[in-house]
Amino acid sequence: MTRRGRIVAWTGGALGVLLLGAAGVGVWAYVQLDGNIRGADISIDGKRPTNLSPGSKNILLVGSDSRAGANAKYGKDLTTMQSDTLMVLHIAANHEWATALSFPRDSWVQIPSCTRGNGTKSSPHHFKINEAFSIGGDSGDISKAAACTIKTVERNTGLRIDNFASIDFQGFKGMVNALDGIEVCPKHAIHDKKAHLDLEAGCQTVRDEKALGYVRTRYSVGDGSDLGRIGRQQEFMKALGQKAQDKLTSPGSLYNFLDSATKSVTTDRDLDSIDALTDLASTVKDIPSDRLTFVTVPNYYREADVPTDKANVVWQYPQASQLFSDLAHDRELGAAGKKRLAEASKNPVTAHSVQVRVLNGTGTPGQAASAAEQLRKLGFTVIATGNAPATDKTTLTYPAGLKVQSEVLAAHLSGAKATESAGAAPGAVTLTIGPDFAAKFGG
């Protein structure tokens, strides 16, 4: 239950699991709840990743704090939709295992060009991953918010996203209140003005604003990072899933819980019904508990690459690339895989530790210097620039012993693969710029 509870709650699958045994709510309630769920027509433009494992499913899950309506008080000077929580649930083609992959909201990634609410296009750039939701949702259109978020996740992971679901603040509160609150046990008192939270140390039951504040609090707990918040959210959702199964035995209590949950859920058209969510929940609940894996994208603080940035994290390569590839090819991570990631996280190969020679093979003057500047902004150490014979494609070469360093750089260039070369300059990875560099680097 400890693993299943978290997945059930976050997929909206709690609706399905409870409905499987909830005939007492009746046909009228079923129709009412089904009508609560909002469906969004999500259109993704541009080239998308190929589905490399037919039959498997990747569902993008967003904890949304839209600043519209009743949510307006939760963010000063924020007028767009925000995504507080972001993860991909991968369900294997054989339905025998699943992985929930969390993305820290402070992940510094490539944000591709997206369509804003007014129809204009944003420019590709690097920023926090959660900005994608607000770019598309700048006018309150969740369809565009979802589209930009999906596009960003696909661009940075290579995973093909099949479905989308989000839940907003107010619905979350209603779910907690329908359960008469959830017990939390903070080791230290929490006083966070941004999250509207004042809690004393020790076990206590939270509901309403305190429940919402507890899963949102960040700066006043631990090291103030989003990584700590992810852990607290997962534990809270675990407790919510457990209490929902234990407490919701009467049709009345069940209906109140489901009414709040369904009113807060927005999905793509393939999931916008009780039947679809029930089917999803049935699939998840049959997966053995020891084959439900929860993992956060391996990362380290960006300060290691850019000393002035003390607020963000960057993904750790090549471990992140391998993780994405495993899911794309429907390969199970499991406990052994999690252990490998944990061990690798102790000594990450940072971008700053990678020395790069940048050569211009486009024939257009200044391209090497421009590329070098872009790489320096990401923290890479550029030791030289120069010219190379004309080439049609951007290439990466490395001398013996620098394979991992080359993979760190390759991870920032869409579709790029590094090759070992006896003629490569010693001590550095050589990047030769071709006419496709802008598309590979900028998304």
Let me know: does 332 contact 97? Beta carbons within 8 Å.
yes
CA distance from start to end of the chain: 40
Q: Whole-angstrom Cα distance, residue 115 to residue 102? A: 25
Q: Whole-angstrom Cα distance, residue 98 to residue 334? A: 9
Q: Whole-angstrom Cα distance, residue 11 to residue 56? A: 16
Torsion of CA 121, 131, 375, 362, to 10 degrees: -20
Q: Whole-angstrom Cα distance, residue 284 to residue 279? A: 9
What pLDDT score does 2 carry?
A: 45
Which two tokens mark 141?
A: 């259109």
What pLDDT score does 56 carry?
A: 97
What pLDDT score does 81 carry?
A: 65
In the DSSP assignment, the letter for residue 56 is B
Which two tokens mark 259?
A: 């009414």
What pLDDT score does 57 carry?
A: 95
What pLDDT score does 276 carry?
A: 86
Torsion of CA 52, 53, 56, 60, to 10 degrees: -20
Q: How many CA atoms lie within 13 A of 399 on its CB side?
A: 10
Other CB atoms within a 10 A radius of the CB of residue 84 amount to: 20
What pLDDT score does 324 carry?
A: 96
Q: Parallel, antiparallel, or unpaired for β 204-206 and 182-184?
A: antiparallel
Nearest to 175 by CA among 210, 217, 205, 211: 211
What pLDDT score does 442 carry?
A: 63
Q: Whole-angstrom Cα distance, residue 126 to residue 124? A: 7
Cα–Cα distances in angstroms (integers) from residue 426 to residues 317, 397, 399, 404, 429, in the given order: 21, 11, 6, 15, 8
Which two tokens mark 376?
A: 């320096």
Other CB atoms within a 10 A radius of the CB of residue 419 amount to: 11
Cα–Cα distances in angstroms (integers) from residue 192 to residues 71, 205, 216, 224, 442, in the given order: 18, 18, 10, 11, 37
What pLDDT score does 26 carry?
A: 60
How is 416-427 classified by DSSP, letter by letter? --EEE-TTSPTT
User: Which residues of the chain carry a pLDDT beneath 50?
Assistant: 1-24, 67, 69-72, 74-79, 443
